[in-house]
Amino acid sequence: MKRLFIAEGTTSRSDFRSASRRCTILLVLFTLLSRVPLSTAQATQKNVLVLSGGRGRVSINLMESSLRSHFAGPVNFSIVDLENPRFEQKAYQDNLAEAIQAGYSGEKLDLVVPVMTIALQFAVQYHDKLFPGVPIVFMSNISPLPVKMWPGATGVESTSGVRETIDLALRLHPDTQAVAIISKASGPDNDWFQEEHSELLRHRDKVTEIDLLGPASPQLLQRVAELPPHTVILFQLYPEDSNQPAFGALDVLAAVTERFPTYSMLPHITVGHGGVGGASYDPAIDPVLAGELAARVLSGEPVDHIPVVHNSKAVVSVDWRQLRRWNIPESALPPGSKVLFREPTLWEQGRKYFLIGIAVIVVQALLIFALFWQRARRRKAEVERAKSEQKFSKSFRQSPLAISIASTYKDRYLEVNETFEELTGWRRDEVAGRSHSEIKLWVDLEHRSAFLKQLLAQGSLRDLEIRIRRKDGQIRTTLGSAELIEVDGEKCCLSVWTDITERKQAEEALASVSHKLIEAQEKERTRIARELHDDINQQIALATIEFEGLKQRSGLDDEVRSCMSALCVRLSEIGKDVQAISHRLHSSKLEILGVVVACRSFCREVAERNKVTVDFTEEGNPRRVPEDVSLCLFRILQESLNNAIKHSGAQHFEVRLRAVSDEIQLTVRDGGLGFDAPAALSGHGLGLISMRERASLVKGTISITSKPMAGTEITLRVPIAVNRETQAISGAA
Amino acid sequence: MMEVKMESPRVLLADDSPEMLETVTQLLRDDFEIVGYAQDGEEAIKAATTYNPDLLVLDIEMPFRNGIQVASHLRDSGCRVKVIFLTVHEDLDYIEAAWSVGALGYVLKSRIVTDLLPAVQEVLQGRRFISSFQLT
Residue B79 domain boundaries: 10-128
Highest-scoring range by mean pLDDT, A174-183, A219-228, A541-550: A174-183
Number of domains in chain B: 1
Cβ distance B136 to A549 less than 8 Å, yes or no, reads no
Angle, nearest 10°, between helix axes B67-76 and B92-100? Answer: 20
* Cβ within 8 Å, pair A593-B93: yes
Instruction: Please state the ipTM of this predicted complex.
Output: 0.83
Residue ranges in A440-585 assigned as alpha helix (H): 445-458, 501-530, 538-552, 558-585
Kindly determine whether residue A545 and residue B113, on different chains, have CB atoms separated by under 8 Å: yes
pLDDT tens for residues A234-279? 988 877 655 555 677 888 888 889 899 999 988 777 888 899 999 9
Q: What is the pLDDT of residue A11?
A: 32
Residue B113 lies in a domain: yes
Would you say residue B135 lies in a domain? no
CB pair distance less than 8 Å for A545 and B91: no
C-beta atoms of A589 and B17 within 8 A: no
Residue B5 lies in a domain: no
State the pLDDT at residue A491: 85
Residue of chain A nearest B22, judged by CA positions: A542
Question: Å from A709 to nearest chain B CA?
Answer: 35
Q: Given A537, A552, A592, which is nearest B60 (Cβ)?
A: A592
B86 in a domain, yes or no? Answer: yes
pLDDT at A113 over 50: yes
Confidence of residue A177 (pLDDT cuts 50, 70, 90): very high
Q: Percent of chain A having pLDDT more than 70?
A: 88
Compute how many other C-beta atoms are within 10 angstroms of the C-beta atom of residue A724. Answer: 14
Here the CATH number for the domain that contains residue B123 is 3.40.50.2300
A22 pLDDT more than 60:
no
CA of A504 to nearest chain B CA: how many angstroms apart? Answer: 38
> What pLDDT score was predicted for residue A587?
79
Contact yes or no for B89 and A579 at CB 8 A: yes
- Backbone torsion region of residue A551, taken as left when φ is above 0, otherwise alpha when ψ lies between -120 and 50, otherwise beta: alpha
- Residue at B27 is within a domain: yes
Q: Which long-range contacts (CB under 8 A, 24 or more apart) does A605-608 make?
A: A606/A641, A606/A642, A606/A645
- Tell me which chain A residues have a C-beta less than 8 angstroms from the C-beta of B110: 540-541, 544-545, 568, 571-572, 575
Residue B99 located in a structural domain: yes
CA distances (Å), origin B131, targets A569, A644, B83, B85? 15, 37, 14, 10
pLDDT, tens only, A530-576: 888 778 887 887 888 777 777 777 677 888 888 888 888 888 888 88
Pick A171 or A54 by higher pLDDT: A171
Residues A321-349 have pLDDT tens digits of 999 999 999 899 999 898 988 888 788 78
- For residue A154, the tally of other CB atoms under 10 A from its CB is 25
- Measure the CA–CA gap between A21 and A10, rounded to whole angstroms: 11
Average pLDDT over residues A717-722: 76
Contact list in B for residue A572 (CB cut-off 8 A) is 110
Give yes or no for B98 touching A (CB within 8 A).
no
A458 with A487: CB under 8 angstroms? Answer: no
Residue A15 in this model has a pLDDT that exceeds 50: no
Cβ neighbours of A588 in B, within 8 Å: 61, 89
Average pLDDT, chain A: 81
For residue B115, the chain A residues in CB contact (below 8 A) are none
> Predicted confidence band at A284 (pLDDT cuts at 50, 70, 90)?
confident
User: Are the C-beta atoms of B78 and B45 separated by less than 8 Å?
Assistant: no
Predicted confidence at residue A514, as pLDDT, reads: 76
- A-B contacts (CB, under 8 Å): 75
> Which of A537 and B1 is assigned the larger pLDDT?
A537
Residue of A538, A548, A600 lying closest to B17 (CB–CB): A538
Q: What's the pLDDT score for residue A392?
A: 83
In a domain? residue B103:
yes
Whether pTM > 0.80 for this model: the answer is no
The shortest C-alpha distance from A519 to chain B (Å) reads 20
Average pLDDT over residues A608-630: 83
Q: Residue B55: what are its φ and ψ, rounded to 5°?
A: -140, 140
The whole-number average pLDDT for the span A502-526 is 81
- Residues A626-632: what's their mean pLDDT? 83
- pLDDT attached to residue B111: 81
- Of the pLDDT bands very low, low, confident and very high (cuts 50, 70, 90), residue B133 is low
Residue numbers in B near A586 (CB within 8 A)? none
- Residue pair A482/A495 in contact (Cβ under 8 Å)? The answer is yes
Q: Is the pLDDT of residue B3 over 70?
A: no
Residue A175: its pLDDT value, please?
92
| Residues A417-445 pLDDT 10s | 889 998 899 898 888 888 878 888 888 88
- The sign one gets for the Cα dihedral A11, A17, A19, A21 is positive
Chain B CB contacts of A553 below 8 Å: none
Instruction: Answer whether residue B1 is part of any domain.
Output: no
Which is more confidently placed, B111 or A309?
A309
> Under an 8 A CB cutoff, do A533 and B90 touch?
no
Check residue A446 and give its pLDDT. Answer: 84
Tell me what percent of the residues of chain A surpass a pLDDT of 90. 16
* pLDDT at residue B35 tops 70: yes
Q: Is pLDDT at A295 greater than 90 in this prediction?
A: yes
